[in-house]
Amino acid sequence: MAGAIGLIGGTGWPSTALYYERLNRLAEPGTVPVLIASLSFAPILADAERGRFDLVTAAFVAAGQGLAAAGAGVIGLCAATAHLAFDAVAAAVPVPCLHIAEPFRRPADLLPNGLLPNGLLSDGLPSKGAAVGVLGTAQTLEQGVFSGPLAAAGHRVVTPDAGLAAGLDRAIKTGISSGRPTPADIAAVQAALDDLVAGGADAVVLGCTELPLIRDRLRPAVPLIDAVAAHCQALLSRSRG
């Protein structure tokens, strides 16, 4: 299994399954070797909510080390919020780790022609200088998981109003991450999306790995950029050298 793509998932499981599906669809008509370390979501979320990011980080580091020992040639984390532990994982394993926002920092190096697969995304990556909105959990937005790389690439970053961001965070961590979103959850995402458009966003990054699962239930007025699609294409490209 040397050169397999290692995925640290389980947070939550629907997005982990999406990663596995996307990677293999990109590899068709063949398949791609994938190793998955699936963590238990409930204790990870509980530790994060009470501020024990040391325990969260330790869990992700152990998972990454297990994947590397099992033969992974490159490792990706299947949750944007989990990237708060990315640096620790990358420092603890002997193989490359690919950040979910890395394709937005240097797309020409990671994605064919700098664009995402037409079948997985409504549009390519935004042109330099575009205003780009970001949807994600409170931690993803506060810690700049996407905002930092987007700003470094020359984009103006737009984030939701604080109240709408809190509602978005609740929706992601309850119904959406469990694979059972309610109409209220969808409405919370739509409200945050509308706020980004009102704030001048030319495109919006679905910066939570569960959000592509509800994409068909949203009414976007601007292109939606699927971070999972970008991450999967970059992981596959890296695994192939």
Closest CA to 78 of 13, 166, 158: 13
Number of domains in the chain: 2
Q: DSSP string of 93-161?
A: SSS-B--TTHHHH-HHHHSGGG---TTT-SS-PPPTT-EEEEE--HHHHHTTTTHHHHHHTTPEEE---
pLDDT single digits (tens) 211-238: 999 999 999 999 888 899 989 989 998 9
- Containing structural domain, residue 29: 4-105+230-239
Task: Sort 154 into a burial class: Cβ within 10 Å, 0-12 / 13-18 / 19+.
Answer: exposed
127, 34: one domain: no
Amino acid at 109: D
pLDDT single digits (tens) 98-148: 999 988 876 544 444 443 433 333 345 566 778 899 999 999 999 999 999
124, 221: one domain: yes
125, 218: one domain: yes
220, 234: one domain: no
> pLDDT band at 179, cuts 50/70/90?
confident
Residue 185's domain is classified under what CATH number? 3.40.50.1860
Q: How many CA atoms lie within 13 A of 114 on its CB side?
A: 7
Q: Which two tokens stand for residue 75?
A: 């490792």
Bigger pLDDT: 50 vs 96: 96
**58 in a structural domain:** yes
pLDDT at position 49 over 50: yes
The helix, strand and coil proportions of the chain, stated in percent and rounded to the nearest 5, come to: 55, 15, 35
